[in-house]
Amino acid sequence: MTGILRTLVIAWKELLQLRRDRLTMAMMFMLPIVQLTLFGYAINTDVRHIPTVVYDQDGSAASRDLAHSLEATGFYDLVGHVSDYDEIQRSLRSSKARVALIIPPNYASDLVRGRTAHVQLVVDGSDPQVVASATNTAASMVTARSSTLLVTKLQRAGAGGVAMPIELEPNTWYNPDLRTAVFIVPGLVGVILTMTMVMLTAMALARERERGTLEQLIVSPVRKLGLVIGKIVPYVAIGYVQMSLILLVGWLIFDVPIRGSIGLLYGLASLFIAANLAIGLFFSTLARTQQQAMQMSFFFLLPNILLSGFMFPFEAMPRPAQILALGLPLTHFLRVVRGIVLKGSVFADLAPQLVAMAAILVALVLFASARFTKKLV
Amino acid sequence: MSAPAQTTAIVETEHLSRHFGSLVAVRDVSLSVQRGEIFGVLGPNGAGKSTTIRMLCGILDPTGGRGTVVGYDIARDAEKIKQRIGYMTQRFSLYEDLSVIENLRFYAGIYGVAWKKRKARVDAVLSSSGLEQRKDQLAGTLSGGWKQRVALACATIHEPPLLFLDEPTAGVDPVSRRDFWEQIHAIASQGTTVLLTTHYMDEAERCHRLSFIFRGTLLDVGTPDEIVARRHLQVAELEVERATDAAALLRTRPEVEEVAHYGHTLRVAVRGGADPERIVREVLEGGGVAVDSLRRSRVTVEDAFVAMVRAEAEAA
Ligand SMILES: Nc1ncnc2c1ncn2[C@@H]1O[C@H](COP(=O)(O)OP(=O)(O)OP(=O)(O)O)[C@@H](O)[C@H]1O
Ligand SMILES: [Mg+2]
């Protein structure tokens, strides 16, 4: 009983201090909003409207038709016509265009005579993301066109019952318009929680150490567990507020729906938040000053952003990076939050993540509490 | 040196030691502090005073020896000790962004002062330290003397039978120090034991008993008078025209322990029970320096302290 009271006394003190620390408070609530806006608007992996020049050596109706259907895909913006290879080079170098379509002379007559027409697509490779999108789109457009031409030709030649042998109908679920924001916003919940939870806990204890008040705390009869819980409980509350803020703003501004159960999300988030607090606690046992605590937290953030699947797909990473990533709570929480928010996943879908996060949490708590003692040095 | 185990001892150590890597911060310290006394720990910077106190408070494990505080072993029962002591750290570690009363309530809370008694206790320490007017001021905006009062109030909020104060008067003006010492004596008169460290020799003389620590080793323990007597020093004060020359001459004599300037006055301490007035006359008349006035003076703890540190430094 006195133990619980003491824990509450510490939590209350922490809140009093937080209330007077306007800067930190402002940071904690501004950070999610600023990050959300930055990531939501600036990071846009949809490649569209690539400036394109056309070098039409044929000048026929058929060649003009090809150029137009390329533009009709929405991926290419025709920004001009050029009349030789030098001009193509100048356009790419000056970034006036990133793609050039070269239609050979005799394009129309080759089609009529049944010869293969060699259409060339020159792509600026300095941005790999553009290359992939540009070539894929053009290739599938041209393939579709060729097949149609072949089928028509066969039918005209009298082959009855000729149809396209195979046709793929792609059907994207959960984010049919492939909007980046829909993908980024739930991920941002995890990234921002990692950042603030780890940093705040590490800083909160490092501050006491730096100012000498930790010595006064550990000389008191407060239990170790009570001390730690009292120190971090206020930050758990802040974590939930941040999470709600991101989801709310994501819904209002970026139209990100929440398809699954909010209760399930908040429940599973508790494991994730607790794991990050344990990491912060561990950092605080290593850091002598607030600055060191801050540096460690930033250092920890980097692998989280790169490896967790927030920016790059987990499946595309090499094996060692994947193994490392599985040790990060964020990797599992991202699957939880994206699953619930975007796909409406239910508890049974997320059981593996629950187990993984619980295991990481237990390991971290054991590790951090072995390091954190009521002793100096 | 220390008395055999008595039931009245509230702090007792035997060969207490603490190493930090290859550095020996505290070496073989054996001492006992009696219930109700004001026990001073003196020693130069880095002597190991704070390290000793931290071990006694149970927040630093000894690397050798043993100790009991309020009847509990410092290595095994540190948490039981923590219920029964108050500790004021070397720099007054208050929460600077909390007000005076918030600091007091916080410490009352974590020391488990009963909810019903809390308000009465907070009011009591506020009034005994004269802090009522400033109770809503942020601790960080107080001056040094006031911070010290708040720190003492926090350390005594739960009425501990034993109080550790690590350099409680560092950086505090003489009037505040005097008030502070009156408060310490008031606390002790109610039966609380006080163990404190200080660098001020006038404060050392206000303690019931003293101990000297030098480079981690305990050199002497006793009442101020006992400690002074054991040094066998005699002191004279004189006024001369050419004080610097006179001091240089006096220092050539092997019996002279120490010559110190106080304004126009020179203070001369001699060893081994020699007569300081005779030595001063001999030396200065021989050197042709006229002595304006010469008188015997009381030997202070400071004289004893300097003599002890000098002797140890020379021996090392
Ligand atoms: N945590 C630590 N790690 C390493 N060395 C330490 C540690 N704490 C103290 N020391 C060393 O132990 C020695 C004794 O230090 P201590 O603080 O006990 O001295 P002190 O007598 O309190 O000095 P002061 O009068 O300056 O406060 C010093 O040399 C100090 O550098
Ligand atoms: Mg000290």
Q: What is the pLDDT of residue A44?
A: 62
pLDDT in tens, B141-177: 999 899 999 999 999 999 999 999 999 999 899 999 9
Is residue B4 over pLDDT 70? no
Mean pLDDT, rounded, for A161-187: 77
Cβ atoms A186, A250 nearer than 8 A: yes
Is residue B268 over pLDDT 60? yes
Query: Which regions of B223-315 does DSSP assign to beta strands (E)?
Result: 234-240, 256-262, 265-270, 291-297
Token code pair at residue A113: 């005579």
Mean pLDDT, rounded, for B127-154: 94
Nearest to B110 among A10, A16, A377 (CB): A10
* CA angle (B61 as vertex; B56, B63 as ends), nearest 5: 110
Closest residue by CA, ligand 1 atom 9:
B51
Is residue A161 over pLDDT 80? no
Closest residue by CA, ligand 1 atom 30:
B46
Distance CA A204, CA A207 (A): 5
Distance CA A217, CA B83 (A): 12
Q: What is the pLDDT of residue A101?
A: 92
Helix-then-strand count for chain A, H and E: 14, 4
Mean pLDDT, rounded, for B234-244: 90
Mean pLDDT, rounded, for B245-270: 91
Helix-then-strand count for chain B, H and E: 11, 14
Burial of B117-138, coded b for 16+ CB within 10 Å and e otherwise, reads: eeeebbeebbeebebeebbeeb
Is residue A217 over pLDDT 80? yes
Q: Domain map of chain B by residue range?
A: 9-227, 234-298
Distance B46 CA to ligand 2 centre (A): 7
Lowest model confidence (mean pLDDT) among A13-17, A144-148, B16-20, B113-117: A144-148
Mean pLDDT for all residues in chain A: 88
Q: What is the pLDDT of residue A70?
A: 86
Residue A375: list chain B partners with CB under 8 A: 59-61
Question: If you search the block for the tokens 């109770």, which residue do you land on?
Answer: B135
Q: What is the pLDDT of residue B304?
A: 93
Q: What is the pLDDT of residue B16?
A: 97
Ligand 1 pocket member B50 (CB < 6 A): yes
Nearest-Cα residue of chain A relative to residue B92: A212
Cβ atoms B167, B90 nearer than 8 A: yes
pLDDT band at residue A43 using 50, 70 and 90 as cut-offs: low
pLDDT in tens, A329-344: 999 999 999 999 989 9
pLDDT band at residue B3 using 50, 70 and 90 as cut-offs: very low
Distance CA A19, CA B260 (A): 55
Q: What is the CATH number of domain B234-298?
A: 3.30.70.100
pLDDT in tens, A87-129: 999 998 888 898 999 999 999 898 888 888 889 999 888 877 7
Is residue B2 over pLDDT 60? no
Q: DSSP string of B111-174?
A: TT--HHHHHHHHHHHHHHTT-GGGTTSBGGGS-HHHHHHHHHHHHHTT--SEEEEESTTTT--H
pLDDT band at residue A180 using 50, 70 and 90 as cut-offs: confident
pLDDT band at residue B103 using 50, 70 and 90 as cut-offs: very high
CA quadruple A221, B90, B301, B205: dihedral sign:
negative
pLDDT band at residue A178 using 50, 70 and 90 as cut-offs: low
Lowest model confidence (mean pLDDT) among A26-35, B12-21, B27-36: A26-35
pLDDT band at residue A46 using 50, 70 and 90 as cut-offs: low
pLDDT band at residue A293 using 50, 70 and 90 as cut-offs: very high
Q: Enumerate domains of chain A plus CATH numbers.
A: 50-173 (3.40.1710.10), 180-371 (no CATH)
Q: What is the pLDDT of residue B139?
A: 95
Distance CA A367, CA A278 (A): 9
Token code pair at residue B39: 């026990």
Is residue B66 over pLDDT 90? yes
Distance B164 CA to ligand 2 centre (A): 12
- Torsion angle (degrees, nearest 10) of CA A238, A243, A247, A249: 40
Distance CA B25, CA A97 (A): 73
Q: Count of residues for chain A? A: 377
Is residue B112 over pLDDT 80? yes
CB contact under 8 A, B94 and A221: no
Q: How much of chain A exceeds pLDDT 70, in percent?
A: 97
Is residue B7 over pLDDT 60? no
Is residue A242 over pLDDT 50? yes
Is residue A45 over pLDDT 90? no
pLDDT in tens, B178-188: 999 999 999 99
Cβ atoms B256, B264 nearer than 8 A: no
Q: What is the pLDDT of residue B6?
A: 46
Q: What is the CATH number of domain B9-227?
A: 3.40.50.300
Nearest-Cα residue of chain A relative to residue B157: A220
Ligand 1 pocket member B284 (CB < 6 A): no
Distance B170 CA to ligand 1 centre (A): 16
Measured between alpha carbons, how far is residue A21 from residues A10, A370, A374, B61, B97 in Å? 16, 31, 26, 35, 8
